[in-house]
Structure 1
Amino acid sequence: MDSITQAALGASLAGAVAGKTLGRSALLIGAALGTLPDLDVVIDYGTAVANFTQHRGFSHSLFILFPLSFLIACALNRWRPVLSYRRWLAVTALILLTHPLLDAFTTYGTQLFWPFGPPIAISSIFIIDPLYTLPLLAGILAFLFRGPDTRAVMAGLVLSTLYLGWSVTAQQIISDRVQPALAQEGLQDAPRMVQPMPFNTVLWRVTVMGEGRRVEIVTGFLDGDRPVTLESFPRDPQLAEVAATLAEGRRLEWFTNGFLHYERANGRLTATDIRLGIPGAHPFTFVLATDNGDGLKPLPSSRTERPAVAGELLGVLWNRMTGSAEVLCLASLTLPPPGEGCT
């Protein structure tokens, strides 16, 4: 999740566990601990793919954060012995461990068990979701203005947790909804990713990796009984095989679970993470190699410039989310006239 949300979660947990004793300072300590795992972004691993795939790595590993919480609790207990070591340990362990657990509900991927196993990405909540964050912020503000009353922060934690549970339930409902349409296309067993569109859990995006095409579906809870619209994008499996000959190509495949779009044009091979953002506005595209006609020449990967997002995109998403528009064409990020589909 975004840094504001992680700081708010940390502050809320600290306020709930130690707010009556530490007062408002508990919120500052909790917010600082809540952002600690994300400090790995300052580390340069040498290439764009390495920086991308190492983020949420060791600093988000339960195997690292759990023992680290004992050390931090010891230091905090010496600094502020007003809390017992056990209470400090409860504060630090709760905050440090819930940070990566919450991140695992997003699409990016969190290496909870680093250095073992692949990243975990439940993909049930967008990286920024106001309906998750606002209850936490409301509880924190109430704590600040009303004094060390933990009921407000506890209420915020309960509401945000219930919302997170709703996101998993909604994800399963959407997955079941699109199953008949995918079965008609022979894609019922193809790799599938179901995730919310930005900032909400009402409108969802389903990405399915077919043999020679990728299918995208946008559907939501306000669509009524309207049939889902399938939008196809070309896919060249042979380029995936070419990329698999490159170390950083294999690393990307592992990190994204194969949800990548490859292109070989203008003398270079690129790979785009299609999980993040939306078509036309995917933020992570990497140059893996050059091709001057004599075959691929691997390069230390670089990241292309992030595509600009049109200002009217929020309005487009709102119209589609509320159901006032029946179809959102991802290829063009436009809303076709009523009764028309995507070309």
Structure 2
Amino acid sequence: MDSITQVALGASIAGAVAGKTLGRSALLIGGALGTLPDLDVVIDYGSAVANFTQHRGFSHSLLVLAPLALLLAWLLWRWKPALDFRRWLLLTGLVLLTHPILDAFTTYGTQLFWPFGGPVAVNSIFIIDPAYTLPLLAGCILFLIRPPAQRAIAVGLALSTVYLGWTLAAQQIITNRVTPALAQAGMENARLMVQPMPFNTVLWRATAINDEQRVEIVTGFLDGDQALTLETFPRDPQLAQAVADLPEVQRLEWFTGGFLDYATDGDRITATDIRLGLPGAHPFTFVVARNNGGQLLPLTSSRLPRPAVNDQALNQLWARVTGKSKVLCLATLSTPAPGQSC
């Protein structure tokens, strides 16, 4: 999740555990601990792919954070013994461990058990979702105004947790909705990812992918019995096979679960993470090789600039979320003209 959400979650947990004893300082400590795992972004691992796939790695591992919570609890207890060691351990443990667990509900991927196993991505909540964050912020603000405001903190945590549970239920409902349509399109054996569109859990995006093509569906809870619109994007299996043995490409395949699009850009070969962002506005595209007169030359990966987004994209998204627009074409991030389709 975004940094504001992680700070609010850490501060809320600390306020609930130690607010009566520590007062406002509990929120400051919890907020600082809540953002601690994300400091790995300052580490340069040597290439764009390495930086992308190592983020949320060791610093988000439960196997690393559990002993770190024990160490920090001891240090904080020595600093402020007014709170006994067990309460400090409860505070540090809950704040540090809930950070990566919450991140695992997003699409990016969180290596909860680093160095063992692959990244975990539940895909049920967008990285920024006001409906999750605002109850936490409201509880923290009320705490700062009139500490310890334990009830406000507890209500904020309860509402955000219930909402997180809702995202799982909503994801399953949408999965059940799109599965028959994908089967009719011959994509019943394709890899499927269902995730919310930006900033909400009313409108969802389903992505099905096989070697030859990718099918995208946008559908939401305000659509009623409206027929699903399937958009098809071709894939280049020969290009994917050509770069399949490159270590950085293998790393990307592992990290994204194969949700990649390979393309040529002049003499450059690129790999795009199609899970994040939207078609035409995917933020993570990497140059992985160069075509030198038919000979493939591996490169130390670099990341292309984030593409510009259509100025009307947010308006189009809002219209689709609220049901004012019945179709949103992902290829253009626009609404088709009357009588036309994507």
Global fold match (TM > 0.5): yes
How do 1:16-165 and structure 2 match up within 5 A? Answer: 16-165=16-165
Query: 1:239 Cα shift?
Result: 1.8
Q: Name whichever of 259-268 and 116-125 sits farther off.
A: 259-268
- In structure 2, the residue corresponding to 1:110 is in which secondary structure? coil
- Paired residues of 1:286 and 1:304 also in contact (CA < 8 A): yes
Deviations 1:119-171 (A, max 9, x none): 00000000000000000000001111122121111100000000000001000
Report matched runs for 1:236-247 at 5 Å: 236-247=236-247
Q: Which one-letter code corresponds to 1:69 in the other structure?
A: A
The whole-number CA distance in structure 2 between the counterparts of 1:341 and 1:294 is 38
Residue 339 of structure 1 deviates from its aligned partner by 4.2
Deviates more, 1:317-326 or 1:6-15: 317-326
Query: How big is the shift at 1:264?
Result: 2.3
- In structure 2, what is the Cα distance between the partners aligned to 1:262 and 1:58? 28
Supply the distance in 2 between the matched residues of 1:74 and 1:339 (Cα, whole angstroms).
67
Q: Is the 8 A contact 1:273 1:284 kept in 2?
A: yes
Report what 1:183 is aligned to.
183
Structure 1 range deviating more: 178-187 or 6-15: 178-187
Write out per-residue CA displacement over residues 301-337 of structure 1, whole angstroms, 9 at most, x where no aligned residue.
0000110113321100001111111111111111012
RMSD: 0.8
CA distance in 2, matches of 1:311, 1:184: 35
Q: Structure 1 residue 311 and structure 2 residue 294: aligned? A: no
Letter in 2 for 1:235: R
Name the amino acid aligned to 2:245.
T
Question: Is the Cα contact below 8 Å between 2:205 and 2:217 reproduced in 1?
Answer: yes
1:294 is displaced (CA, Å) by 4.0
| Separation in structure 2 between the aligned mates of residue 23 and residue 281 of structure 1, nearest angstrom | 44
CA distance in 2, matches of 1:326, 1:215: 18
CA distance in 1, matches of 2:243, 2:15: 48
Partners of 2:172 and 2:265 lie apart in 1 by: 38
In structure 2, C-alpha distance between the alignment counterparts of 1:252 and 1:211, rounded to whole Å:
16
Alignment of 1:194 with 2:197, yes or no, is no
1:25, CA displacement in angstroms?
0.5
Task: Give the letter aligned to residue 341 of structure 2.
Answer: G
Read off the aligned partner of 2:316 and give its amino acid letter: V
Query: In the alignment, which residue of structure 2 is the partner of 1:267?
Result: 267
- Whether the 8 Å CA contact 1:325–1:338 is kept in 2: the answer is no
After superposition, residues 225-236 of structure 1 pair within 5 angstroms as 225-236=225-236
* Alpha-carbon distance, 1:241 to partner: 1.5
SS at match of 1:287: strand
Q: What TM-score do the two structures reach when normalised by structure 1? A: 0.98
Per-residue deviation at 1:32? 0.1
Superposed counterparts of 1:222-301, under 5 Å? 222-301=222-301
The letter for the 2-side match of 1:163 is Y
> What does the per-residue CA deviation read over 1:217-265, in whole Å, with 9 as the maximum and x for residues that have no partner?
0000000100110000011122222221100000000000000000123
Which segment is superposed worse, 235-244 or 7-16?
235-244
Q: CA deviation at 1:212?
A: 1.1
Contact kept? 1:235, 1:261, Cα under 8 Å? yes
Which secondary structure does the structure 2 equivalent of 1:193 belong to?
strand
The code of the aligned residue for 1:219 comes to: T
Which segments of 5 or more consecutive residues in structure 1 lack a partner in the other structure?
none
Equivalent position SS for 2:140? helix
Secondary structure of 1:201 counterpart? coil
**Secondary structure of residue in 1 paired with 2:76:** helix
Alignment-mate amino acid for residue 88 of structure 1: W
Superimposed CA distance per residue, residues 29-58 of structure 1 (whole angstroms, 9 cap, x where no aligned partner): 000000000000000000000000000000
Q: Secondary structure at the match of 2:327?
A: coil
Match of 2:203 in 1: 203
**What 5-or-longer segments of structure 2 have no aligned partner?**
none
2:240 aligned partner, one-letter code: A
Q: Which residue identity does 1:128 align to in structure 2? A: I
- Whether the 8 Å contact between 2:8 and 2:133 is mirrored in structure 1 is yes
Q: Which runs of 4+ in 1 moved over 6 A?
A: none
Spell out, residue by residue over 1:9-34, the C-alpha distance to the aligned partner (whole angstroms, 9 max, x if none): 00000000000000010000000000
1:57-76 deviation per Cα after TM superposition (whole angstroms, max 9, x unaligned): 00000000001100000000
Native 8 Å contact 1:66 1:93 kept in 2: yes
Aligned partner of residue 159 in structure 1, secondary structure: helix
| Number of corresponding residues | 342
Distance between the aligned counterparts of 2:154 and 2:239, measured in 1? 51
Verify the 8 A CA contact 2:310 2:333 in the aligned structure 1.
Answer: no
Verify the 8 A CA contact 1:47 1:302 in the aligned structure 2. yes
Amino acid at match of 1:253: E
- Indicate if the aligned counterparts of 1:326 and 1:338 stay in contact, CA closer than 8 A: no
- Amino acid in structure 2 at the alignment position of 1:29: I
TM-score when normalising by structure 2: 0.99
